[in-house]
Amino acid sequence: MQNCNSKLQMDLKTRVYKFSLVVIRFLGEIQPSQINRIITNQLLRSAIYNVSEIIEAQAASSKNDFKNFMNHSLKSANETKYWLFLLRDAELVENMKIESLIREATELSKILGASMLRLKGRK
């Protein structure tokens, strides 16, 4: 079972890392403006922070540390969704490009949320 959990964690880490790379490339295409800079800086931070928290969780020294890092990752994933929705709804970017990012951010949030429920013994 531990081997299966390790593989799932590695797959999640890889998926979140790839998502962060896609966000970075996407942000490089956005027109610079004061508003865009503020929003894109926040989006970049939350997307990058998400993967760093998963990496920290894998190196956690206790189950409680692991839970805390994964919880922070979930919060970061939800924050990433917020900034993506804000960019979309303010019509600051092309709708087609951002929709796939929103879908992936939503899926990652659901995966992390389900993981947190399992860790807390609720599922």
pLDDT above 60 for 4: no
1: confidence class by pLDDT, cuts 50, 70, 90: very low
Question: What element of type H or E holds 91?
Answer: none
Q: Which amino acid is at 89?
A: D
Q: Evaluate whether 27 touches 38 at the Cβ level (below 8 Å).
A: no
Total-model pTM = 0.85
Residues 6+ apart with CB under 8 A from 102: 81, 84, 85, 88
CATH architecture of 2-119: Up-down Bundle (1.20)
* Average pLDDT score over residue span 48-57: 90
Count Cβ neighbours within 10 Å for each residue of 69-91 and write b for 16 or more, e otherwise. bbbbbbbbbbbbbebbeebbeee
pLDDT above 70 for 3: no
Per-residue pLDDT at 2: 46
β strands within the chain, DSSP E: none
Distances (CA, A) of 20 to 75, 113, 117: 15, 18, 24
Per-residue pLDDT at 6: 56
* Average pLDDT score over residue span 62-77: 93
pLDDT tens, position by position, 87-119: 999 988 877 889 999 999 999 999 999 988 988
pLDDT tens, position by position, 10-43: 688 899 999 999 999 999 999 889 999 999 999 9
